[in-house]
């Protein structure tokens, strides 16, 4: 199958953008799947900053990293991604957002439009040229539509002279399949 789901597309694009030794961010750690993926991609010389507001997420992620022997190059941060500038000062190559709530967790503790947009805005500043922000937007069901609508509206306003924004969306599927948004920082003209 050539047209794969948004999660697959997000991993494919991040794999293409990121090299060993890069500094990257997992903005929504959750159960740590993306943190693990990023840790492997950047290798021992790189660094992953991973954020979540739930202690549960940090514990699940730490366990996963230790089991895979990938703990050393990861900073696990118990704070909202909207505060990223308190922890990350270096230029970053990629950021991954998985919006929504922790699978099998509390559906009330999901990402929110205001903090998500604040974080994306700060990440735009931190991004290296050629770096990407990858956002997988889960919506519908318990997540509702507010965050998805606000994020879609916001990314359309990003300056086209500095960033390209691509939206990957299946328009003929049922049950609100996740949308993948990729923002790439362009070289200065």
Ligand X SMILES: C[S@@+](CC[C@H](N)C(=O)[O-])C[C@H]1O[C@@H](n2cnc3c(N)ncnc32)[C@H](O)[C@@H]1O
Binding site for ligand X (CB under 6 A): 28, 30-34, 51-54, 57, 80-82, 98, 100-102, 109-111, 115
CB-closest chain residue to ligand X: 30
- Residue written as token pair 């991040």: 14
Provide the β-strand partners of residue 163. 185
How many C-beta atoms surround the C-beta of residue 152 within 10 A?
16
Q: Which of 162, 168 has the CB closer to ligand X?
A: 168
Nearest distance in Å: CB 60, ligand X: 8
Among residues 85, 78, 152, which one has the least CA distance to residue 124?
A: 85
Nearest distance in Å: CB 76, ligand X: 12
Q: Which of 110, 131 has the CB closer to ligand X?
A: 110
Provide the β-strand partners of residue 25. 49, 95
Q: Which of 99, 187 has the CB closer to ligand X?
A: 99
Give the Cα separation of 24 and 22 in Å (integer).
6
Nearest distance in Å: CB 110, ligand X: 6
């Amino acid at each position: 199958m050539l047209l794969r789901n948004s999660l697959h597309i997000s991993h494919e694009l991040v794999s293409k953008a990121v090299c060993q030794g890069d500094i990257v961010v997992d903005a929504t750690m959750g159960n740590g799947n993306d943190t693990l993926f990023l840790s492997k991609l950047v290798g021992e010389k790189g660094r992953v900053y991973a954020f979540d507001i739930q202690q549960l997420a940090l514990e699940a992620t730490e366990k996963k990293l230790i089991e895979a022997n990938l703990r050393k190059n990861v900073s696990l941060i118990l704070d909202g991604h909207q505060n990223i500038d308190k922890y990350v000062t270096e230029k970053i190559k990629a950021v991954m957002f998985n919006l929504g709530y922790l699978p099998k967790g509390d559906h009330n503790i999901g990402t929110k439009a205001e903090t998500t947009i604040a974080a994306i805005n700060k990440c735009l500043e931190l991004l290296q040229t050629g770096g990407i922000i990858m956002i997988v937007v889960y919506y519908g069901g318990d997540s509702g539509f507010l965050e998805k609508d606000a994020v879609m509206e916001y990314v359309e306003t990003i300056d086209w002279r500095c960033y390209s924004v691509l939206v990957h969306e299946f328009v003929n599927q049922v049950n609100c399949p996740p949308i993948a948004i990729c923002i790439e920082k362009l070289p200065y003209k």
